[in-house]
Chains A and B, each alone.
Chain A
Amino acid sequence: MHNRMGTSPQPAVGVPPHRALPPLRGVDNVGVAQDTAGSLDDGLLAVRAAEGDEDAFAVLVRRHSSRMLALAQHLLGSRTDAEDAVQDAFLSAWRRLPEFQHTASFGTWMYRIVTNRCLSTLRRRTRPLPLDTIPDPATDPDRSPPHVAEIDAATAALTAALQKLSPELRVCWVLRELHGLHYEEIAHVTGSREQTVRGRLFRARRALTEAMRPWR
């Protein structure tokens, strides 16, 4: 629907003086504005943010940051690097929003920017992974039951195996298996074809099942 309404100019003096509007005042009003923004969908917020409304962008950041941080952490294996990548990605999104064409949702667009940012971090990375990379459940005293320990160990092994995959395979697997994106969304996020995504997913699963052999 694209109804253009009331295009005839209306003089400002035509406003009825008795029109009742809620007062726009200090603190109360800020609360109302934030409540309203919280109920807006991503599309409206992205349009507002594109026109320089940083409050609207703040709502988008709050809404998406945990998910993007989870993605970056799985791709980079380090919390510090992940936080840097996500911050860079959101700042880049803020600068590029005026050009955002809404052909994809804001969420998918952010997946794309964060993924690309993580890939460039991985390309630059020459040092070995930091020590916070691989959790060691054996040293966690709160988790004593053997089966819990076994599941934790398997999860830790999977996390470690994930870091050994090539970045392209890792991206496809994480987006599909941990974030639930569909093939066509992954193809959009990674800028590749759906068939390429399917092939990469297979190769990722192949490598990961090998790594998980001791947990069969």
Chain B
Amino acid sequence: MALDEPPPASDDESMTSGAVPAGTPLPAEAELLAGAERLPCGRPLGRAWQQARDAGRAPDPHSSHCPHCRGAIEGLTALDRATRALRGEEQPDGHRLATRIINAVRTEVRLGPMLFLDDPDHDLRIAESAAAKVLRRAADTVPGIRAASCRIIASESGDATHVVTITVAATLDRPLRGRAEALRGAVLHSAEHVLGLAVTAVNVEINAVLDLSPVPSDDRFELRDR
């Protein structure tokens, strides 16, 4: 099981199919197999439904006269009608719930390692996650750049210096080299003057092409046509 999938813990089990043992050969259209159940006229229910969905084709002589096939098609039509109405109902307003969730998340902050600031006594520290947020924000101010990962690793020398590795998405309307230099400058400036963190190097990785068209809030999973 891949790491990004929920582990099969007691409260989060994946569903198992159960019905068909692994390795059993299955026909390409299992849905039709499941629909092999026959109507009293002898025709498989799945086939009658298939005809109902083939809107462009006229029904064959049998199904236009057979009361069983017609009944099956009417049943599916009634279900489709109610389904459309249910789908058209307004989505519940999740705003209040979202606020509750965000508040709960903020009580579970993941700080990450603590980093020494560049003060004379080296007794001030900042969480990597907090510092990374500031550096990402600086990266976002560079036109055509949006920051993804930002890791800040303390040098092994123990002198409170750090190496930043920042991964970004960039638009392709300008040469990447110049853009990477601007990014490096923005990050170094922010590290030094906003955070007071000594940074000896900024490694820049561009691993995605950025499309800056706005992301609509909640309609990217719109129902697709069937």
Contact partner of A178 (CB less than 8 A), chosen from B15, B87, B188, is B87
In the complex, the number of residue pairs spanning A and B with C-beta atoms less than 8 Å apart equals 302
> How many angstroms from the CA of A100 to the CA of B149 in the assembled complex?
13
Contact yes or no, A119 B13, CB < 8 A: yes
Say yes or no: A44-B169 contact (C-beta < 8 A), given A15-B189, A61-B101: yes
Contact yes or no, B75 A213, CB < 8 A: yes
A125 interfacial by beta-carbon distance below 8 Å: no
Interface string of A6-34 (1 = CB under 8 A from B): 11111110111001011010000100010
A92 interfacial by beta-carbon distance below 8 Å: yes
Contact yes or no, A112 B200, CB < 8 A: no
> How many angstroms from the CA of A86 to the CA of B97 in the assembled complex?
9
Min distance, Cβ A143 to any Cβ of chain B, angstroms: 12
Say yes or no: A155-B89 contact (C-beta < 8 A), given A16-B185, A21-B141, A199-B19: yes
B47 interfacial by beta-carbon distance below 8 Å: no
Min distance, Cβ A108 to any Cβ of chain B, angstroms: 9
Total residues of chain B contacting the partner, CB 8 A: 115
Which residue on B lies nearest to A209, using beta carbons? B75
Total residues of chain A contacting the partner, CB 8 A: 109
Q: Which residues of B contact A (CB under 8 A)?
A: 2-6, 10-17, 19-20, 26, 29-31, 33-35, 37, 45-46, 49, 71-72, 74-79, 81-83, 85-87, 89, 91-95, 97-98, 100-102, 104-106, 108-112, 127-129, 132-134, 136-138, 140-141, 146-151, 163, 167, 169, 176-177, 180-181, 184-186, 188-192, 194, 198-209, 211-212, 214-215, 217-218, 220-224
